[in-house]
């Protein structure tokens, strides 16, 4: 709900109208309909676009670096087909607000990325009780941001252990399903690494 509310607050605060056929409105509709982890690099790309004076090349480079193509943007249930708009007179305020919004998106989607990656690796996880246990703990605590040093230490240690066990399974070298299992395990490894950070 916060994702839905905050994008509207930003638009209203900066007097950006909800007008069909604009990039901001298309992204707003996507966020309202179905926010996904893709929204993190979309937000980063828009911030980069604004920070570079409305440079569309920066927008597309940030998206490309995250593996998001024009075709991907156009394939969403609520597609994003327009180029982003620059608001030179509102740029500084928008950059500040979208940096805050990026933190909200990351806090919501960091656990989602991990959950999605873990689901894709179920067959590997279910074959190793130690991995299942460690990963289960990490999943249960992801996004909690505990201020207790002991809890934080236990969380990080379980994530580190889960990565080591995952590496030991040999799944990264699997050619099963044309290498799909290996790729899924690499995504899980990356998601665990991001939890450690």
Is the pLDDT at 67 greater than 70, yes or no?
yes
Residues in the chain: 197
Rounded to two decimals, the pTM is 0.60
User: Of 75, 89, 64, which is closest to residue 30 (Cα–Cα)?
Assistant: 75
Percent of the chain with pLDDT over 70: 94
User: Of 28, 3, 30, 2, which is closest to residue 17 (Cα–Cα)?
Assistant: 28
Percent of the chain with pLDDT over 90: 53
- The mean pLDDT value for 65-84 works out to 94
Give how far Cα 194 sits from Cα of 4, 106, 110, 169, Å: 25, 11, 8, 20
pLDDT digits (tens, 9 = 90+) for 27-63: 999 999 888 889 999 999 999 999 999 999 999 999 9
pLDDT digits (tens, 9 = 90+) for 109-137: 765 567 777 888 888 899 999 999 999 99
Long-range pairs, 22-29, Cβ under 8 A, ≥24:
22/82, 22/85, 23/80, 23/82, 23/83, 23/84, 23/85, 24/84, 24/85, 26/78, 26/79, 26/80, 26/81, 26/82, 27/80, 29/78
Q: Average per-residue pLDDT in the chain?
A: 88
């Amino acid at each position: 709900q916060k994702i839905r509310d905050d994008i509207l607050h930003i638009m209203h605060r900066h007097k950006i109208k909800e007008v069909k056929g604009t990039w901001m409105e298309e992204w707003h509709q996507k966020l309202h309909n179905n926010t996904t982890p893709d929204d993190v690099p979309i937000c980063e790309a828009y911030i980069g676009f604004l920070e570079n004076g409305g440079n569309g090349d920066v927008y597309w480079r940030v998206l490309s670096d995250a593996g998001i193509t024009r075709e991907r943007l156009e394939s969403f249930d609520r597609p994003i087909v327009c180029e982003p708009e620059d608001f030179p007179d509102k740029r500084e305020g928008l950059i500040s607000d979208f940096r805050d919004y990026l933190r909200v998106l990351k806090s919501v989607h960091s656990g989602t990325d991990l959950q999605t990656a873990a689901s894709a690796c179920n067959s590997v996880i279910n074959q190793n009780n130690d991995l299942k246990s460690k990963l289960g703990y990490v999943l249960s605590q992801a996004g909690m941001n505990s201020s207790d040093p002991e809890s934080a230490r236990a969380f990080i240690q379980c994530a580190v252990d889960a990565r080591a066990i995952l590496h030991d399974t040999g799944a990264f070298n699997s050619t099963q399903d044309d290498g799909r299992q290996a790729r899924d395990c690499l995504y899980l490894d990356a998601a665990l690494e991001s939890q450690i950070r």
